Structure 1
Amino acid sequence: MDTTEGEFTTKDGTKLYTKTWKPRSDAVQAVLIFLHGFSDHINAYYDLFPTLSSSPFNVAVYGFDQRGWGRSCHKPADNGNTGPTAMVLSDIHDFVLHVASLPETQGKPFFLMGHSMGGGEALCYMLSTSPDFSNRPAFSGLLLQAPYVEMHPSNQPSFLKVQAGKLAAIVLPHTQLKQKLSATYMSRSEKVCQDWINDPLCHDTGTLEGLKGLLQREAELSHLSHGRTVHGYTTKSPCPIWFSFGTGDRILSYIAAQQLFNVLEAPNKDKTFKSYPDAYHKLHAEPDGVGEQFAKDVGEWILARGNKEAEVVQVGQSQSDLKADGGS
């Protein structure tokens, strides 16, 4: 397994930090693009990516610190300065196209995975009907770890606070605001909770514009989960879907994620909701073997869909060979 750090440039010229975890090139079974959560970064996922990129899974993992987060921030004013949802999704699309253009990813099944805020973004990106993403590559699967569909009821901001924030965002979009998530409920591991507190890259800072976009994406996904029509979105996923959530998560809503899962359609009805009893928000960093089981579940789901993709390609090639030989 090799790790490589670098950067890629978005269409507006912004340079964002990237990191890859790759098995030997001749061993790669699939390509996974990963989107991190709020106030998080791609180097804070412990053993998840090294496990996926090692045998028996051999998945090449490509991640980046999103605009406003992690090592993509070069000065304090960058913290949380994600821009509006259009920019967030544009950055994701730029990175997807960047990874899809690399020589080593050609011919490999593609997967997208998001955690928490990144899970909500992955859903918005894959369910968007915008023509801006019409050249999105074909994905073999969408994986969601505790996706942000709604906040846990204990964390929901009041209606008045949300409305006031939206109005302020129009006037002062780049004003920064601390928005702390509870470290206590990140993981049942005290070390993981303390790591979150001590990590200077987990800055808990959003801008009014960025937070407005985050709440707007939550509202749109929440509306979809309740069977409402949302302009610019569909409930038909272009690929199989895997949801995962800890029943003890008190950061985001397990029930809202289940509701959205229930209304989403996937090709051949290939969708799975995996619950982890009593687990908290960072499933990949849960103790007592849960984190290891989570990584195994992710790897096995990816390989199963990747192998199906390979079988389809092989059947298609065989039929082409038959036609070329004059067969029917």
Structure 2
Amino acid sequence: MEGEFAARDGAKLYTKTWKPESGYISAILIFLHGFSDHINAYYDFFPTLSSSSFGIAVYGFDQRGWGRSVRKPSERGLTGPSTLVISDIHDFVLHIASLPETLGKPLFLMGHSMGGGEALCYVLSTSPEFQNRPPIKGLLLEAPYVELDPSEQPSSLVVSAGKLAAMVLPHTQMKQKLHATYMSHSPKVRQDWVDDPLCHDTGTLEGLKGLLQRSADLSALSHGRKVHGLSTRLPCPVWMAHGTSDRVVSPTAAERLFKVLEAPNGDKVYHSYPDGYHKLHAEPDGVGEQFIKDVASWILAHVAGSPEAAQVGT
């Protein structure tokens, strides 16, 4: 089901919902997509989660500057600064948590790549602005962007120059192309990434500055350094997944951050997928199917009293 969501400044953002046909919802999953991606580019992931096998309702939105939330070329990559990116996420979480069909249902948050880094910055934030965040039952992260793969990492000189330029010309657009090679082992998925006009590879100087700063902050946390406004203490259990052959973002950096994250009662899981690439949900040869089942199993195992939890895998 498609719709629109109004952010606090009135911006209209495209939304998509996948609900179980039976009408019974076992859990709510809010999903944050990656860089130059959009919520309709996740293949069978969301339809499978919302199938009768799992009953997980999925709510996603094309973030500001991306996907169908872009209505003219000048809006491509126009995400605004990090404060706006994270407040959009907070507003969407509050919006979904207030819907009649979600009331009383366990709420989970998941992000892929850039969306994974955003989800981490959101739940680890110590800002008073987010203290009215609804209870999150669990955080799931697919190949979260903590650091780029070393081959993709811009030099410190380029980063510094970009930050200075962003102060003067924040809305200037520039291409920041991600190579399709390590998106998936599937040739079709790689070609889809290249051919999709909504995967426009366009950022603004302001948006890219914010993206790089969020990554730098998470990287600093992973090395044991303190970062103003962020904690390593999570409000909920966490499940993190990464393909060992991902060359878009660094699995090593993500696992290093995972090790310093503090989850309630130590409830945290890091799941490696041998030889997996960046889009684990779209990997061929049964890997994508197993990834989706692993996501659903973890969610349902954290839904108290859920009869579905006992049935997963049977």
TM-score (norm 1): 0.92
| Aligned counterpart for 1:43 among listed residues 40, 43, 62 | 40
Which is richer in helix? Answer: 1
SS in structure 2 opposite 1:160? helix
Q: How does 1:254-269 map to 2 (within 5 A)?
A: 254-269=251-266
Counterpart in the other structure of 1:156: 153
Q: How does 1:76-87 map to 2 (within 5 A)?
A: 76-87=73-84
SS in structure 1 opposite 2:87? helix
| Aligned counterpart for 2:25 among listed residues 23, 28, 35 | 28
How far apart are residue 278 of structure 1 and its match? Answer: 0.2
What's the Cα RMSD here?
Answer: 1.0
Counterpart in the other structure of 1:236: 233
SS in structure 2 opposite 1:44? coil
Counterpart in the other structure of 1:167: 164
SS in structure 2 opposite 1:126? helix
How far apart are residue 84 of structure 1 and its match? Answer: 0.3
| Aligned counterpart for 2:209 among listed residues 212, 232, 241 | 212
Counterpart in the other structure of 1:196: 193
What does the per-residue CA deviation read over 1:99-148, in whole Å, with 9 as the maximum and x for residues that have no partner? 00100000100000000000000000000010110100001100000000
**Residues 154 and 308 (structure 1 numbering): CA distance in 2 closer, same or farther, change over 3 Å?**
farther
How far apart are residue 306 of structure 1 and its match? Answer: 1.1
- Does 2:127 correspond to 1:135? no
| Aligned counterpart for 1:104 among listed residues 96, 101, 104 | 101
How far apart are residue 26 of structure 1 and its match? Answer: 4.2
How far apart are residue 27 of structure 1 and its match? Answer: 1.5
Counterpart in the other structure of 2:272: 275
| Aligned counterpart for 2:247 among listed residues 242, 245, 250 | 250
Q: Give 5+ residue unaligned stretches, structure 1.
A: 311-328
Task: Tell which structure's C-alpha radius of gyration is larger.
Answer: 1
**Residues 14 and 232 (structure 1 numbering): CA distance in 2 closer, same or farther, change over 3 Å?**
same
SS in structure 2 opposite 1:82? coil
- Runs of 4+ in structure 1 off by over 3 angstroms are none
Task: Measure the CA separation in 2 of the matches of 1:56 and 1:269.
Answer: 29
The one-letter code of the counterpart of 1:217 is R
Q: Give 5+ residue unaligned stretches, structure 2.
A: 308-314
Q: Indicate conservation of the 8 Å contact 1:245/1:276, yes or no.
A: yes
Q: How many residue pairs end up in the alignment? A: 307
Counterpart in the other structure of 2:223: 226
Task: Measure the CA separation in 2 of the matches of 1:7 and 1:184.
Answer: 33
Task: Measure the CA separation in 2 of the matches of 1:163 and 1:231.
Answer: 20
The one-letter code of the counterpart of 2:219 is S
Task: Measure the CA separation in 2 of the matches of 1:22 and 1:36.
Answer: 18
Q: Indicate conservation of the 8 Å contact 1:109/1:309, yes or no.
A: no
Counterpart in the other structure of 1:321: none
Task: Measure the CA separation in 2 of the matches of 1:235 and 1:192.
Answer: 35
Q: Indicate conservation of the 8 Å contact 2:26/2:306, yes or no.
A: no
| Aligned counterpart for 2:14 among listed residues 13, 17, 20 | 17
